[in-house]
Structure 1
Amino acid sequence: MIKFTFYLFALILIFAASRVITVRNPIHAALFLVLAFFSSAAIWLLLHAEFLAIVLILVYVGAVMVLFLFVLMMLDINVAPLREGFVRYLPVAAFVGVLILVEMILVLVGWHQAPPPEVAAALPNTKALGLVLYTDYVYPFEIAAAILLVAMIAAIALTMRPHTRAKYQKPEEQVRVRREDRVRLVKMPSESKE
């Protein structure tokens, strides 16, 4: 049962990851990315790496996907045709939702049947991860952090486009104004009432 569950989650993960890069609709890609994250978390739960699974769900599904959707909204992609019919997207959303539900049920069934690995029996899961991450893999960890920082700066730079209709005040020009630049005195003959 454990091998079947693992291979099922692996197949779902490969399918979802391939759909993330092949689907044309960015919203569908985000939904398939959520499915890929859930499949990875389910595989980690089967391996008794609960901390990694929970962090994947909380950080990536909870925060990174919100960031992705925020960037999709800020890029001003023409999604008017996508909003026309909610019913059109219901099959994709239902498919992803049912797959996530089936994965969660299979993890709960398979998690109690799989014995924990003997290697991690001496240390708690989080402590063993921290020891390995900050000793053996400290440089790849720092490189990954730098890549994520660059990606965050790129996402901000993509949303900071100059607006053509926006009008801005320029205080340095307002301070340098002279009366002669703004006011012109015109001499006009006065009219006489006769």
Structure 2
Amino acid sequence: MEFTTVLFYVFSAIMVFAALRVITARNPVQAALFLVLAFFQAGGIWMLLKAEFLAIVLVLVYVGAVMVLFLFVVMMIDIDTEKMREGFWNYLPVAATIGGIIVLEMASVLWRGFGTGNTTAPAAAGTIGGTKELGLLIYTQYIYAFEIAAVVLLVAIIAAVALTLRKRKDIKYFDPGEAVRVKRNDRLRIVKMDAVVERNTEAAEPKEAQ
């Protein structure tokens, strides 16, 4: 057995264990950390497939940006995990059915790919990590899927902001919309006042003394 094969099995085993801990951990922060571990193992598998660019993007984007944002959201909102797990087992049949369908679909695709005996697959796999080939595929063949993924990420960002947005009464709140709609008469008021004449106290004191 080659050393790369051993590394593949090690990375795969750790990734499967981390994925199981993501869905079984009671603490959401621990689940997020196990998801980070799973992403690192997936990046290692990409490196074994000579897809260095995809491995680096996976670590930088998901681990360095998405997971950090997820951890901030989890820590900022007060999640009652016990209340969320009250009806957890009621959704088990539906979750098992959906998971089984996904596994069967992935198995059918992989079985078909390995069973065709296409000799050009290793050559294509060697260039999968190139930025030029990846850019051509993303912006030509998979342009609509790429745009849908961008919209999904935008919705996720908006949802994260909406979850963490709280109006507190003990701090000064500033509404940008009201600041844009403000007029001059709303901020400035001209008041006419009579002139104030100061008395000359130094000249009045000697007369009083006399």
CA distance in 2, matches of 1:153, 1:77: 19
Q: Which amino acid aligns with 1:126?
A: T
CA contact (8 A) 1:10 1:39 kept: yes
Map of 2:30 onto structure 1: 28
Q: Which has the larger radius of gyration?
A: 2
Partner of 1:152: 157
CA–CA distance in structure 2, aligned partners of residues 13 and 169 of structure 1: 46
Q: 1:49 maps to what in 2?
A: 51
Q: How does 1:157-176 map to 2 (within 5 A)?
A: 157-166=162-171, 168=173
Alignment of structure 1 residues 1-194 onto 2, 5 Å? 1=2, 2-77=4-79, 117-119=122-124, 125-166=130-171, 168=173
Q: Show the counterpart of 1:191.
A: none
In structure 2, how many angstroms separate the alpha carbons of the residues matched to 1:71 and 1:34? Answer: 15
Give the direction of change, closer, same or farther, for the CA distance of 1:120–1:5 in structure 2 (3 Å limit). closer
Q: 5+ unaligned residues in a row in structure 2: which ranges?
A: 81-121, 188-210
- Which residue identity lines up with residue 59 of structure 1 in the other structure? V
Higher relative contact order (CA 8 A, sep 6+): 1
Please tell me whether the aligned partners of residues 38 and 57 of structure 1 are also in contact (alpha carbons under 8 angstroms): yes
**Contact 2:51–2:129 under 8 Å retained in 1:** no
- How many Å separate the matches in 1 of 2:145 and 2:49? 23
What amino acid sits opposite 2:12 in the alignment?
Answer: A
Partner SS, residue 24 of structure 1: coil
Q: % of aligned pairs identical? A: 62
Partner letter of residue 142 of structure 1? E
TM-score between both structures, scaled by the size of structure 2: 0.57
**Separation (CA, whole Å) in 1 of partners of 2:166 and 2:11:** 41
Give the secondary structure class of the aligned counterpart of 2:166. coil
Partner residue in 1 for 2:100:
none
Q: Are residues 168 and 139 of structure 1, via their aligned partners in 2, closer, same or farther at CA, if it must alter by over 3 Å?
A: closer
Q: Secondary structure at the match of 1:58?
A: helix
Partner SS for 1:129: helix
